[in-house]
Chain A
């Protein structure tokens, strides 16, 4: 295949790869995006609960997501020319036991230390914000600047906008190896062909590990299955994003009117699959029972669809966004650990700045690739 050498090759056409490509192209760089699957945004980018949330996050990634919520999300519709269905109506992280409230208090204290407007609220205040919650909920953390958006139109919106800026996308082009020439990144080898570039961004989710391994870099991520379900259109009930203290249940009502809820059975790591994430027979019923405990009013809502996806779980559950010292020209942005959608656009912008100028608006030092140490 004849290919003029682009300034940057991005491996992975998800929210992180697409947004990075978009902002790189906006800076005037030529970009080629290689997506291994047949579809743009086919990994966690299309398979998540749609949270655009700061509360409940690790303090290391909090500055980046706060930056994105202040600088990118409010104007993303006009930026991309699609409706990303962004609602900034707050996030309730719900607790049902004293132990839950302790977890929430701890998360809240950490976030407040980072300058986030989040606080603990009691049973009555929770109900003022969301009157549909069951009596089991005894308190919550409340972050009014959190929200949710549509992961599908956001990811494909970045693709559409990047493509309009001249970014070259190829799907079904699975990368199998990276190669250095004279000590620097030079070749990206796929199942079919070899591409060359002096700068490569690896944003392939959980697949990043196998690709990075071919050039001697260990990225400690693995895949972990999640399951979600979608209801038919319901009357408008509430606009907040919802989560729980144990992070076992999350969801929101979309602009469309359907509810999207995700949850876990706890048995995901022990299931078998045939190479695609599969909804298990126990997954959706388990999520339904979870939903009905929190929202009895939804017990007659009909489920129209269930789906599953893999998140790229990092060893310490926080993303890796960095340049790789051992391989000049190689950058990595992966391991978002199931909370990458809301932070994705900010990660893309900051990565594009890091590649183009050597510096990013947000300090990415806490997200370095070489931070992993033995625990003792």
Chain B
């Protein structure tokens, strides 16, 4: 009989009998196998020759087949440009968009937790009317600068007059819900206007287009996660800093952010993984120049048929950095990241 004691807590209740432990390990190793075997297969396929792949399944290197670096050579030297450009694009777009998203999102999340907002229905209504007027002007064929100017004018006018009559409005929780619920929006429902927008600005197939779109797509996650995180940070430090005369910006930068590092790390990793792997937006907005790695991998099939050996190398170098980060930061993910989901 094996008894495993809980490290924390006084009394151990988690006694595991030998048969139960054996069964647990069996189940755990079964799933470990399910997780790792595809990755193992990917890794060995990257070291096979086309002949090894096509002449049947070979499982163990050096026994069943002789590993070779041919595919790696092809990907890194023969295809140099076609591999490194998407890689650079993915790194730049991933890091930039994640940094911007985490910054804007945690600012908004912090503000939603610690500051009080009261937006009148009048102001929201004026804004909707202004947007409607802009849209009508543009659709009716007017030049878009005219529409924007008209919209802003109407907005200011209404805000100063009619909007003041409305008393009721939306508060912090409504704003937070509105932001987070954006995640429900399928990207495909918004991508066509975004495509047209970037086309008008001639920004299609550039880093800027991808960075801006990713920021918008991933902001809800950051607001959702960081809001819960900031709620769990004690407010006393900020209060005493405020009494000592620190500005809100200083408090945010010197007190709140350093305290929230575990949450920030987890959120950063989470958003980075999303941006790194993003497919749909890149599919619509990029073609050759700003193509990201998922596009490159997906395109392998279309151009040359399934050449598993090259594809395995590409997939390996694509998932390598993310997996390394996940392993290094696993502790943060479990603790910092999912406060929101756990709280419900």
- Bind each other: no
